[in-house]
Chain A
Amino acid sequence: MRRREKMAHAETHDPNTPLEYRSETGRLNILGFWIFLGAEIALFATLFATYMVLSHRVADGPALGELFEVESLLIQTFLLLTSSFTCGLAVHEMRRHNVKGLITWMAITLGLGLGFLYFEIQEFLHFIHEGANIGTSAAWSGFFVLVGTHGAHVTFGIFWVTMVLIQVAKRGLTPATSAKVFITSLYWHFLDVVWIFIFTAVYLMGMVTHNG
C-alpha cells in the first residue's frame, strides 16, 4: 500500500472526562475488558463447579478441611483485600493526575500481591509436605487447580502491572497509559472478588464440613 503519515488518534478533550475515557481506543479497551471479565467469571465458575463436585472425593488422601489453617488463610485474605484497596487508591490518584501517587499506591499493591503469593506458596508447600498434591485425589486436584489458577492470575497480574507502571514512568499519564492502568486495576479488583469466593467456598466450607 501507499505511503501514509502516522498521526495520533483523535481524542476527546473535555476536562471533566477522566483520561482513560478520552481516547476511542481507551473506551473500547475498557469496555472490552469488562466483557472479558464476564468470560473470566464463567471460567472460574467452571473451576468452582469442578471443585464443589469433587471436594468429597478424597480417595485415601487427607480430607481437605483437615489441612486448612485459619491463620494462613487470614493473612492471605487481608493481604489481598488491602491490595485491592490500595489499587483503588492508585486509580483515585490517577484521576487527580497525580502520577507519583499512582505509582506509589500501585507499588504498594504489588508488594501486597507478592506477599499474598509468598504465603500461598508456603501454604501449598505445607500441603504437599503433609501428603496432599495435585495427584493425591480428585478433591486435591480440584483444590490445586482452582486455587492455583487464581494464583497464576495474580502472578500474571504482577508482571502486567509492572509493565504498565514502566510505561507510565516513561510516557507519563496519557489517554493510552491511563487506560492501561485502569484496565489492570479492574483485573486486580476482580482477582480479589474471585478470592472472596475461594475464601468462602473452599476454605470456610472445607473447615465447616470438616469440623461439623
Chain B
Amino acid sequence: MKWDEFFVTGDPMIYGADVSIVLTMVGILFYLTKYKKWKWLWDEWLTTVDHKKLGIMYIVSAVLMLFRGGVDALLMRTQLAVPEAKFLDSQHYNEIFTTHGTIMIIFMAMPFLIGLINVVVPLQIGARDVAYPYLNAVSFWTFFIGAMLFNISFVIGGSPSAGWTSYMPLASNELSPGPGQNYYLLGLQIAGIGTLLTGINFLVTILKMRAPGMTLFRMPMFTWSSLVTMVIIIFAFPILTVALALMTFDRLFGSHFFTLQGAGMDMLWANLFWLWGHPEVYIVILPAFGMFSEIISTFSRKTLFGYKAMIWSMLLIAGYSFLVWVHHFFTMGSGALVNSVFSITTMAIGIPTGVKIFNWLFTMYRGKIQFTTPMLWSLGFIVNFVIGGVTGVMLAMAAADYQYHNTYFLVSHFHYVLIAGTVFACFAGLIYWYPKMFGYKLNERIGKWVFWVFTIGFNVCFFPQYFLGLDGMPRRVYTYSEESGWGPLNMVSTIGGFMMGIAFLILVYNMYYSFRYAKRETTGDAWDGRTLEWSTPTAMPPFYNFAKIPEVTGLDHFWRQKQAGKVEKLKAEDIKPIHMPSNSGVPFIMASFFFVAGFGMVFEWMWMAIFGIIGVFGTLFYRSFEYDDGYYVSVEEVIETEKISK
C-alpha cells in the first residue's frame, strides 16, 4: 500500500476536514489537560456502567452523527440542485450517499433510540440499573468504535461507495477494490455486536427487573415498544452478522458466496441483506411509536386509548417484519407467486400500524391537549408519517413497484417514514426527557421555531421527490440533464433540505441557550408526567435511581397517585443499603482492541488484525476471572444524596 492510497488526497474539502479533525483533537486534548479533566473523563464517563450516562453518551454520539449525515445530505442536495452541476464528481457523490445512508440508519437513528431507551426504560420500570450494566458499557463502546472506524474512511483510505445496501457483485473486490467497502463491513460488524448485546440486555432488564407490582400489562408503552424492538434486534442482527461475514470472506479470503466467479450468487446478498434490513426499519420505528404514545398521553392528560390493542399491534408488526423482506426486490424476477405473497404480507403491516394511528388520535379525543414542543413533534409525526406509510403501501403493490423501484418515489417514501417517524421521535423524546438527563428544559419558544422550520423544510424537501420519482428520476444518480425537466423540483427540494439544516442549527443553539439561561427544575416531575421516571424527587435521578424501589398498583401508577394525592414521601427508616455495580475500564479497552482488529482487517494487515483479536479475547478472559460483585451504597450516603437535592 502506497501513501497516496492511504491518505485521501487532492480535494480541498478533504484537506479542510483533515485540518478541522486535527484541530478539534488538539483542542480537546488541550482542554482536558489544562483543566485537569483526564481523571474526571475516565472515572465519570469512560469507565461508567450507569445506564443514564451511557444513554447520554449514545445520544451525544448520535447527534454528532446526525450532523455528519446531514452534511452529507446537504452536499448531495447542493449537487442535485441544478442540472449538470459540477460540484461533486460521480465517485464523490457515490461515497457520500453511501455514508449518508449507512450513518443515518446505523450510527444515528439506532443509537439515538437506544440512547433514549437506556436513559428512560430502567427508570420507567422502577429499576436501579439494567440487568447487565457491564455489558451495557461494552455495547456502547463497540457501537462507538464501529462508528469511528466507519467515519475515518473519509480521510484514510476512502469511503465505501456501493450504497448502504452494498449489492454484490458491485461491492466485490473485482469491482470495488480497496479499503472503502471493508470499512463498511467492519464498521457495521463491530457496531452490530453492541446492538445485539443491547437487545439481550434490555430484553432481560424489562422482563426481570420490573418493580414489584408492575406486571407486563402495566408497563408503560415506551417500555413495551422497547421490549418488542429488542426481540426484533435479537433475531435480526445475527442475520446481518452472517451476511457481513460472508462478504468479508469473499473480499478477504477468496470465498465465492456472492461473487461472479465460482458460481457465487449475487441475489443471495440482496436476500440476506433485506432479511435483516426490513426488520431493521421496524427496529428504528417501534421505539418511536412508543415515545409518541407516552408523549401524546401525557400532553392530552389522558390514558392511552386502546392500551392492549397498541401492544398486540406491535407484536403483530414484529412478527410480520420477518415475513416481508422480498418487497425490496420485487423486480428480481422471483415469479408471480412470490411477488403476490410478499405484496400481501407487506400491505398487511398497514393494518396494525393504522390501528396505532387511530388509537393515538383517540387518545387526544376528550383530552386536554397542551401544545408543548414534544407534543408538536408528535402531531407532526401523525400528519407526516401517514404520507410515508401510505406511499409504502403503494410500493408494496409489486406490479406498481416495478415503476417506483429505484426512483425518487422510493427515496421520498423512506425519508417520510424515517424522518417523520424516527427523527421526529428522537427530537420529541430528547426534548421530553431532557429535564431527566440535564435538570432543565430546553427553551420552548426556540423549540417551536425548530419544529416549524424543520417540518416545513422537510415537506418542501421530500414532497416534490414523489413527483420526481413518477417523472422517472432514478435514485443514486449524481446529476441529470437539462432536458429531463427535473431541475425545478430538485431546486425546491434542495431549498427544503437547507431549511432542515437551519432548523438543526437552531436546535443546537437552543441547547446552548438553555444550558445558559433555562430555569433549573426543582422536582423530578417536569411535565406532570404519568410514569415512574417522573417520580424521582430530584430532577436528575441519582446514580442508584430510586432510594426505595416503588411498588406499582396499576397502569400510570404515578399519575394516579398524584391524582389521589397519595404520593409517598421517602422516610429515612425505609432506606436500606443499595447494591450497585462497580465501574470498569475493560469495555473501553476491549473496544479499542476491536478498533485495532477492524483497522487491520480494513487494510488487510493481518498481523494487526490478529493482534487486535487476541486483545479482544484477552479482555474477555480477564473479565471471566474477575469476581467483582459491586458494592453497597450506605444508608447515610443515600440519605445525604436525597436530602441535598430536596
Name A residues whose Cβ lies closer than 8 Å to a Cβ of B.
1-2, 4-10, 25, 27-29, 31-32, 35-36, 38-40, 42-43, 46-47, 49-50, 53-54, 57-59, 61, 134-139, 141-142, 144-145, 160, 163-164, 167, 171, 176
Q: Which of B242-250, B299-307, B465-473, B513-521 interfaces with chain A?
A: B242-250
A32–B197 CA distance with the chains assembled, in angstroms = 10
Which of B132, B255, B275: most chain A Cβ within 10 A? B255
Q: A50-B257, A134-B253 are in contact. Are A32 and B627 (CB under 8 A)?
A: no
Is B237's beta carbon under 8 Å from chain A? yes
Query: Do A134 and B579 touch across chains, with their CB atoms under 8 A apart?
Result: no
List 26 A-B residue pairs with CB atoms under 8 Å apart, sorted by A's residue number. Answer: A4-B631, A6-B632, A7-B629, A7-B631, A8-B629, A25-B629, A28-B204, A31-B208, A35-B204, A39-B199, A39-B200, A40-B238, A42-B238, A43-B239, A43-B242, A46-B242, A46-B243, A49-B272, A54-B268, A57-B264, A135-B254, A136-B262, A138-B263, A141-B262, A145-B246, A176-B627
A163–B263 CA distance with the chains assembled, in angstroms = 42
Query: Do A59 and B238 touch across chains, with their CB atoms under 8 A apart?
Result: no
Query: Do A135 and B256 touch across chains, with their CB atoms under 8 A apart?
Result: yes
A2–B253 CA distance with the chains assembled, in angstroms = 52
B268 interface neighbour in A36, A53, A134, A171, Cβ under 8 Å: A53
**Told that A31-B204, A46-B275 touch, could you supply 11 new A-B pairs with CB distance under 8 A?**
A4-B632, A5-B632, A6-B632, A35-B204, A47-B242, A134-B253, A134-B254, A135-B262, A138-B262, A163-B621, A167-B624
Is B281's beta carbon under 8 Å from chain A? no
Query: Do B254 and A35 touch across chains, with their CB atoms under 8 A apart?
Result: no
A185 to chain B minimum Cβ distance, whole angstroms, is 16
A197 to chain B minimum Cβ distance, whole angstroms, is 15
Query: Do A39 and B131 touch across chains, with their CB atoms under 8 A apart?
Result: no
5 nearest CB pairs, A to B: A43-B238, A57-B263, A141-B255, A135-B254, A59-B263
B597 to chain A minimum Cβ distance, whole angstroms, is 16
Closest-by-CB residue of A relative to B634 is: A4
Interface residues in B602-634 by Cβ distance below 8 A to A read 621, 624-625, 627, 629-634
A39–B279 CA distance with the chains assembled, in angstroms = 14
Q: A141-B256, A163-B625 are in contact. Are A35 and B200 (CB under 8 A)?
A: yes
A145–B272 CA distance with the chains assembled, in angstroms = 15
- List residues of chain B with CB within 8 A of the CB of A141: 246, 249, 255-257, 262, 264
Interface residues in B474-502 by Cβ distance below 8 A to A read none
Is B114's beta carbon under 8 Å from chain A? no
A193–B265 CA distance with the chains assembled, in angstroms = 28
Query: Do A32 and B200 touch across chains, with their CB atoms under 8 A apart?
Result: yes
Which of A6, A135, A136, A167: most chain B Cβ within 10 A? A135
Is B82's beta carbon under 8 Å from chain A? no
Closest-by-CB residue of A relative to B268 is: A53
Closest-by-CB residue of B relative to A53 is: B268
- List residues of chain B with CB within 8 A of the CB of A32: 131-132, 200-201, 204
Name B residues whose Cβ lies closer than 8 Å to a Cβ of A.
43, 131-132, 196, 199-201, 203-204, 207-208, 234-239, 241-243, 245-246, 249, 253-257, 261-265, 268, 271-272, 275, 543, 579, 621, 624-625, 627, 629-634, 637
B616 to chain A minimum Cβ distance, whole angstroms, is 12
- List residues of chain B with CB within 8 A of the CB of A139: 263
Query: Do A50 and B632 touch across chains, with their CB atoms under 8 A apart?
Result: no
Closest-by-CB residue of A relative to B249 is: A145
- List residues of chain A with CB within 8 A of the CB of B627: 171, 176
A135–B637 CA distance with the chains assembled, in angstroms = 63
Query: Do A43 and B241 touch across chains, with their CB atoms under 8 A apart?
Result: yes
Q: A7-B629, A138-B263 are in contact. Are A54 and B234 (CB under 8 A)?
A: no
A141–B249 CA distance with the chains assembled, in angstroms = 9
A99 to chain B minimum Cβ distance, whole angstroms, is 18
- List residues of chain B with CB within 8 A of the CB of A50: 242, 246, 257, 268, 272
- List residues of chain B with CB within 8 A of the CB of A59: 256, 261-263
Closest-by-CB residue of B relative to A164 is: B624
- List residues of chain B with CB within 8 A of the CB of A144: 255
A128–B338 CA distance with the chains assembled, in angstroms = 38
A36 interface neighbour in B200, B262, B263, Cβ under 8 Å: B200
A36–B255 CA distance with the chains assembled, in angstroms = 28
Closest-by-CB residue of A relative to B261 is: A59
- List residues of chain B with CB within 8 A of the CB of A163: 621, 624-625
A20 to chain B minimum Cβ distance, whole angstroms, is 15
Query: Do B264 and A138 touch across chains, with their CB atoms under 8 A apart?
Result: yes
A141–B43 CA distance with the chains assembled, in angstroms = 47
A76–B237 CA distance with the chains assembled, in angstroms = 30
Closest-by-CB residue of A relative to B627 is: A176
A135–B251 CA distance with the chains assembled, in angstroms = 11
B238 interface neighbour in A29, A39, A138, A167, Cβ under 8 Å: A39
B263 to chain A minimum Cβ distance, whole angstroms, is 4
Which of B132, B242, B579: most chain A Cβ within 10 A? B242
- List residues of chain A with CB within 8 A of the CB of B246: 50, 141, 145
A7–B577 CA distance with the chains assembled, in angstroms = 11
Q: A10-B579, A141-B249, A163-B625 are in contact. Are A134 and B263 (CB under 8 A)?
A: no
Query: Do B272 and A46 touch across chains, with their CB atoms under 8 A apart?
Result: yes
A25 to chain B minimum Cβ distance, whole angstroms, is 8
A125 to chain B minimum Cβ distance, whole angstroms, is 17
A135 to chain B minimum Cβ distance, whole angstroms, is 4
Which of B239, B261, B263: most chain A Cβ within 10 A? B263
A139–B625 CA distance with the chains assembled, in angstroms = 41
- List residues of chain A with CB within 8 A of the CB of B239: 42-43, 46
A143–B199 CA distance with the chains assembled, in angstroms = 29
A7 interface neighbour in B275, B543, B632, Cβ under 8 Å: B632
B303 to chain A minimum Cβ distance, whole angstroms, is 32
- List residues of chain B with CB within 8 A of the CB of A29: 132
A51–B598 CA distance with the chains assembled, in angstroms = 26
Query: Do A28 and B257 touch across chains, with their CB atoms under 8 A apart?
Result: no
A134 interface neighbour in B132, B201, B203, B249, Cβ under 8 Å: B249
A32 to chain B minimum Cβ distance, whole angstroms, is 5
- List residues of chain B with CB within 8 A of the CB of A135: 253-256, 262
B49 to chain A minimum Cβ distance, whole angstroms, is 12
- List residues of chain B with CB within 8 A of the CB of A2: 637
Query: Do A58 and B200 touch across chains, with their CB atoms under 8 A apart?
Result: no
A53 to chain B minimum Cβ distance, whole angstroms, is 6
Closest-by-CB residue of A relative to B272 is: A46
- List residues of chain A with CB within 8 A of the CB of B132: 28-29, 32
Closest-by-CB residue of B relative to A56 is: B263
Query: Do A38 and B234 touch across chains, with their CB atoms under 8 A apart?
Result: yes
A39–B199 CA distance with the chains assembled, in angstroms = 10
- List residues of chain A with CB within 8 A of the CB of B268: 50, 53-54
- List residues of chain B with CB within 8 A of the CB of A47: 242
A77 to chain B minimum Cβ distance, whole angstroms, is 24
Query: Do A138 and B200 touch across chains, with their CB atoms under 8 A apart?
Result: no
A5–B208 CA distance with the chains assembled, in angstroms = 27
Closest-by-CB residue of A relative to B240 is: A46
A59 to chain B minimum Cβ distance, whole angstroms, is 4
Q: A35-B234, A36-B200, A50-B246 are in contact. Are A137 and B256 (CB under 8 A)?
A: yes
Closest-by-CB residue of A relative to B130 is: A28
A35–B199 CA distance with the chains assembled, in angstroms = 9
Query: Do B235 and A39 touch across chains, with their CB atoms under 8 A apart?
Result: yes
A105–B234 CA distance with the chains assembled, in angstroms = 33
Query: Do A9 and B235 touch across chains, with their CB atoms under 8 A apart?
Result: no
A70–B523 CA distance with the chains assembled, in angstroms = 72
- List residues of chain A with CB within 8 A of the CB of B631: 4-7
B388 to chain A minimum Cβ distance, whole angstroms, is 28
- List residues of chain B with CB within 8 A of the CB of A4: 631-634, 637
- List residues of chain A with CB within 8 A of the CB of B255: 134-135, 141, 144-145
- List residues of chain B with CB within 8 A of the CB of A137: 256, 262-263
- List residues of chain A with CB within 8 A of the CB of B43: 1
